[in-house]
A = this chain, B = another copy of it.
Amino acid sequence: MKKSLKTTEHLALLKTLYSLRVGAGLRQSDLAKLIDEPQSFVSKVEQGERRLDIIELRVIVKALGTSLEHFIKEFEKNINETK
C-alpha cells in the first residue's frame, strides 16, 4: 500500500491534526514534550513525512485533549470539505 501522501485524505488528516494542535494553543515543541518525542517528530508528522498508525494517532490526539472518536469525525468532515 503506497504512502498515501498528498491524496485528499492525507491532506485532510494533516489539516485536522494541525488545527487541533494550534487550536489547543500549543507549539510543536509543546506537543512533542507531551508525547515524549523530539520537535522534529511533530514537524515530520505535520509535514506528512512521518505516518502515524492509529495507536500513535490516539496518543497524540489524547495529548491534545480530544478523543480518537471525535478526531475521526473532524477528519471525515475535512475530507468532505476538501473534495
Contact = CB atoms under 8 A, between A and B. Distances in A.
Given A73-B69, A76-B69, A1 B54 contact: no
Interface residues of A, number: 24
A41, A59, A72: which has the most chain B beta carbons within 10 Å? A72
A1 B51 CA distance: 11
- This protein's copies in its complex: 2
Contact of A55 (B7, B41, B58, B69): B7
A75 B53 CA distance: 13
Nearest to A12: B55
Nearest to A5: B55
A13 interface: yes
A57 interface: yes
A37 B2 CA distance: 10
